[in-house]
Amino acid sequence: MANVRTIRRRIRSVQSTAKITKAMQMIAASKMRFAQLATLAGRPYAEKIENVLSDLAAQP
């Protein structure tokens, strides 16, 4: 059986890893939100380009 010191060290290690993981999740969520906003901001331009290209393709 592991002694108390080893168990406490392991608990601290797991807690530290959990903190790092939570920070990484927060950073990833922030980056994802920024990417979503950028995509939404670019959508009107993409739709306009699509309309222009379809109009050009429809011309004889």
Give tens-digit pLDDT for 7-34: 999 999 999 999 999 999 999 999 999 9
- Which region, left, alpha or beta, applies to residue 59 given φ > 0 means left and ψ of -120 to 50 means alpha? beta
> Which helix (H) or strand (E) element contains residue 22?
helix 4-58
What pTM was computed for the model? 0.66
Q: Which residues neighbour 2 within 8 Å (Cβ) at sequence distance 6 or greater?
A: 10
Give tens-digit pLDDT for 33-50: 999 999 999 999 999 999
* Single-letter amino acid, residue 34: F
What is the rounded CA–CA span in Å between residue 60 and residue 58? 6
Q: Which residues neighbour 22 within 8 Å (Cβ) at sequence distance 6 or greater?
A: none
